[in-house]
């Protein structure tokens, strides 16, 4: 799926009923109206806050911040070794 404004690639969710591409946050298929499967919500107790004191993001499994995008691989690696 491509962005109509910039032409860049967008993530997509495939409808299990008809196979149409939808935006990842869509609740219903834009083609057939079928309810799309929901992604599991993250466990808030397990999140790792961005170590940058001015950022409000959380680190994903790859150690990248959801807001500023910086990769804190050393933080993610140390959390994996302790847990």
Over the stretch 13-23, which tens digit does the pLDDT of each residue have?
Answer: 899 999 999 98
pLDDT of residue 76: 45
37 versus 40: which is more confidently predicted?
37
- Measured at the alpha carbon of residue 48, what is the angle toward residues 40 and 22, in degrees to the nearest 5? 35
Compute the Cα dihedral for 61, 67, 71, 72 and give only its sign.
Answer: negative
pLDDT of residue 30: 93
What pTM was estimated for this model as a whole?
0.43
Q: Which residue has the tokens 């070794």?
A: 81
Every domain of the chain and the residues it spans: 1-39, 44-82
- Three-state DSSP at 45 gives helix
Strands 48-49 and 21-22: unpaired
62 versus 36: which is more confidently predicted?
36
Element (H, E) at 80: helix 73-82
């Amino acid at each position: 799926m491509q962005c109509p404004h910039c032409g860049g690639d967008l993530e997509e969710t495939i409808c299990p009923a008809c196979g149409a591409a939808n935006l990842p946050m869509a609740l219903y298929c834009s083609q057939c109206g079928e309810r799309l499967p929901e992604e599991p919500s993250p466990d808030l107790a397990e999140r790792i806050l961005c170590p940058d004191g001015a950022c409000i993001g959380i680190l994903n499994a790859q150690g990248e911040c959801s807001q500023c995008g910086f990769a804190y691989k050393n933080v993610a690696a140390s959390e994996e070794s302790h847990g």
